[in-house]
Structures are given as structure tokens and as C-alpha cells.
Structure 1
């Protein structure tokens, strides 16, 4: 089975974003990709500023992405593009009343939505902008059982562990992860957030012995410079395919059942847990 993680830049112009998604999906299809993970904010972009923007302030309102209906025409358009492929895409979800919104993702095929996730962990700078999701749930797809994480979720081991315990063999991580705001490095390879982004991807895969497909935005939006660095990580924590800072697709062939069984043949981390001794 061929899987891919995308690094690309997306904007406030949803029509433009759909065109870009169409191009990425077409390139992935030409390469025989079955599972494609797009970045967070692939429909409508991400926030433009993480330094305490206020959506009620007219001068700050532009930092927010458009609020979309998860069952609306934009998501249906991505499903139509996906057809036989399994595609994960992130966006800002409109809440039931003004001022309520979620940082969300859906996993879909041409037949419709297979799974949904709302980001649970809200980092400084966006905690006042998005409501928090209420959990982590794996779901079945034509490519196997999957789970999704958004951005800051993967910082917390419990997030990926919850999905692995729910049977997920593939973890899709959708990010709009920027370079460090407080400790700029002269080169992206030396950036603290670049190091952490890769570290979390590899750790979450290795500690749960699952396959992880990590997409991320690239380029600049507002004051943010996104890392790119999309990748596919194997159940031993090894990077199987990757991009760097520019846009592109990280594509590789995987056999989830075989690879995960091999990784767990001697050391089976989920079975070796001692939850009776863990606090909380």
C-alpha cells in the first residue's frame, strides 16, 4: 500500500486551496497513493499570528481562517477529488454559535466522511480562538484502522497512545507547525521547533509501534514561517520518506500488518504497559 504526506502552503482563498488540493491529489494518484494526508488548514489556511490575536478586534479578525461546515460544499469537494483514495484534510470548523469554532480534520473518500477529529490540546496563542475537542477515536477505512492528531496533539504521548489502544495502525498527523517564534535559528535545520516536530513524529510512532503519516504546511502566512518537513515514519521510529522545507510529497510503500507485527514480535509496548501503576 502506498501512502503519502503532503507539505504545501494554503491560504484564506478556499477556491485556490481546492485547486491546490486537486493538483496534490492528482500527483498522488499518478504515483499510486492510496492514503494521502494533507496539512492542517488545507481548506482556508491557519491563523496568521500566534501572539494573542483577538478575533473580536477588527484589526485582528483577519488572522482567523474562514469557518466551514464539516458537511458543507468545501469538504464535499475534497471527497469528490479523493474518489477511491483515503484523504485527510484540516480546516476551521464553524461552531453552533458565533465565537465558537474548532480546529478540525476529516478523513474521507469519495463515498463520504470516514472519521472526524477536533484538536484537543490548544497551545498558547490559539487557546482563546478555538474550542477544545473532547477525545481521540480511531475509525475504520478501506486502508485499515486509522486515527488523527492535529498539531499540538502530538506533543502529548497520551494522544497517540489513546488511538493505538483503540486499534489504530495508521496515525495521520495534520499540522500547521511554524518555526520557533522566540528563538529564531539562522537555518531551519537548526530551528528548535523543527527538531521537536521530527522528534514527536518519531517518538509517537516508535512508542506505539504504528505507522505515522505527518503532513505540514510550508511557506509563510502572516508572521508565521511553516516548517514543511512532511514525512512517513515506520513503527520502529525510522523515517521512511520525507520532504524538507519546500512543498512536496513524502511517498512510500508500507505493509501495516506485516510491519507492525514485526515491530511487536519481541517487544510489544501496548501489552507491556502497567496502567495500574500510572498516576492519573
Structure 2
């Protein structure tokens, strides 16, 4: 049975009440379009870091989003807004002692009935380790729109994460992002920025090489020193872009018969079945430290 998938390109900052209003508006727009799933960006509750890569210390309190508990009132409020949707969004998660919690950059999939799945960002770009602990795994889970996998932003640059989800049976992977434009040698035309092009290329490659449906959300506009590239999209298992917001704010919405599309893509070329793991393993001739130094 076809499902309708929506991905948001939108700006989320520190004002939580404004975040909730934006979520409510996007849920209404997606629901009016018949969506079954809506992907909001990374850091949709409280915004992302204000800088990366040496522009000040992003771990200072005034630069950090509020850390929330997965069972706390913030996500309960989002769940109450979700209506009939599967809603995916990014948060700064607090885990551990109340007095000194560990922070994670986390993606959460939920419905009005509660949390379906959680992913803590594994791969950290410049400076993010100052603000967040890293996750250590990728796993898929069942959802009303099929078996679902979650990723966050820089995770998409590493093919192993998406491949792990695909091998765990993920049919749809949602990657939520706060992906900025290039900090150096950037383009005044955001659509032509090299980091915008990179963002889109990763999305299409991950969908194609795993023959899965890919849903990519992203922050839009600016926050602190960061200018985000938008470019939310829904991509089919052949790497074809089914819907795209461009660099502006908006929703990318596409209706997909997921089992049929996956079966069609895998009829002539089955990238998962035809793998040869025995040929990929290092046999000791290349030491790990040599790979690091290369």
C-alpha cells in the first residue's frame, strides 16, 4: 500500500514555543497533503549549535540547545501534535544524572502513542564532540510506514551506516540534518554551494547503493554563524529525486509504494543480495594505523 512521505526544510532556533508552533504548522501542512510520515530537521527542539570548526567554543552554555529527556514533557508535547503522522525530529538528548547529564545529538521517531525508535548521532563534524557524546550503533525498527532507519546529518557521509540499516531490513531511511553551506570558498548562490551539492549527492548515493527509499530533512535559513542549505527531499531506491524543496523552506512530499518500488529496483540489480563480504575484509596486510595516516 502506498505511503506519503514528507520532509521539511525549515528553521528552528532556541525559542521552544516558536519551535512548537512551527511543528504544529508543518504537521497541519503535511497532514493536509495526506502524509503518513513527516521528517523535521536535526535540532528541531531548541536549535543546533551556533558555530562549528573553531569559531568560538560551541560548548559554552549560551551556545547550547536545551537538553531534554526522551520521557520528558517536551517530546510528550510533540507527540500530542503529531496527529496521525509518524513524526521524526532531532533533539539534544539528556541522559544520566540530573545534575550532570550526558548530551547526545539524537533523532527520535514517534507517534501520538509514543516513541518508536531512537538514534544517537555516531559521526561528529568539527567541534561537535565539545557539545555531544557520540552514539555507537545503527539499527532499524518497525513503524506504520514500514521498517524504518534513522540517521543524522554527517552520518550520511559514511556509507557503512546506511548499509547497516539496509542489512537490518530498513525500507525507508530518514536522515535529519542541520547541514550548513561551506565555511570557506562558499557560493553566494546557495543552490550552487559545494556543500549543498555534496548534501544532495550523499542522499542520492545512499538511496541508490542500498536500494531504499531515502527521506532527507534539513534546517533552512541561518543560525549563529551557520547558513543552512535546506534541500529537503524524498528519493527513490533508484536514486531518483521524487520531491525536493530546493534551498528554500518548505515541504518535499512524495507518495511511494515502498515494497513495489524496492522490488522493482532490485529486480535487475540487487545490491544487497549480491554483496561479497568475504572480499571486503582486511586480512592484516593493511594495518589500521596505516589507513589513518593515509
**TM-score (structure 2 length as normaliser):** 0.92
Q: Which residue of structure 2 aligns with residue 14 of structure 1?
A: 16
Stretches of structure 2 that go unaligned for 5 or more consecutive residues are: 283-294
What's the CA shift for 1:279? 2.7
Q: Would the aligned equivalents of 1:83 and 1:111 in 2 still touch at CA under 8 Å?
A: no
Q: Which residue of structure 1 aligns with residue 43 of structure 2?
A: 41
Q: Would the aligned equivalents of 1:178 and 1:225 in 2 still touch at CA under 8 Å?
A: yes
2:266 to 264, 267, 278: 264
Q: Which residue of structure 2 aligns with residue 61 of structure 1?
A: 61
Could you say if the C-alpha distance between residues 36 and 271 of structure 1 is closer, same or farther in structure 2, counting changes exceeding 3 Å? Answer: same
Q: Which residue of structure 1 aligns with residue 33 of structure 2?
A: 31
Q: 1:44-87, CA deviations, whole angstroms, 9 ceiling, x for partnerless residues? A: 1000110334366xxx4322111111111111111111122111
Verify: 1:85 aligned to 2:88, yes or no.
Answer: no
Q: Distance in 2 between matches of 1:32 and 1:99?
A: 39
Q: Distance in 1 between matches of 2:92 and 2:218?
A: 16
Q: Which residue of structure 1 aligns with residue 189 of structure 2?
A: 187
What's the CA shift for 1:182? 1.8
Verify: 1:119 aligned to 2:121, yes or no.
Answer: yes
Q: Would the aligned equivalents of 2:51 and 2:58 in 1 still touch at CA under 8 Å?
A: no
Stretches of structure 1 that go unaligned for 5 or more consecutive residues are: none
Q: Would the aligned equivalents of 2:49 and 2:58 in 1 still touch at CA under 8 Å?
A: no
1:239 to 238, 241, 260: 241
Q: Distance in 2 between matches of 1:4 and 1:78?
A: 17
3-state secondary structure, aligned to 1:265: helix
Q: Cα RMSD between the aligned structures?
A: 1.2
Write out the 4+ residue segments of structure 1 that deviate beyond 4 Å after TM superposition.
Answer: none
Q: Which residue of structure 2 aligns with residue 96 of structure 1?
A: 96
Q: 1:182-229, CA deviations, whole angstroms, 9 ceiling, x for partnerless residues? A: 221121122111011000000000000000000000001000001101
What's the CA shift for 1:99? 6.3
Q: Distance in 1 between matches of 2:52 and 2:91?
A: 17
Q: Which residue of structure 1 aligns with residue 287 of structure 2?
A: none
Q: Which residue of structure 1 aligns with residue 285 of structure 2?
A: none
Q: Distance in 2 between matches of 1:225 and 1:154?
A: 19
3-state secondary structure, aligned to 2:202: helix
Q: Distance in 1 between matches of 2:145 and 2:101?
A: 36
What's the CA shift for 1:245? 1.6
Count of residue pairs brought into register by the alignment: 277
Greater shift, 46-55 or 131-140, is seen at: 46-55
3-state secondary structure, aligned to 1:74: helix
Q: Distance in 1 between matches of 2:241 and 2:131?
A: 33
Rg larger in structure: 2
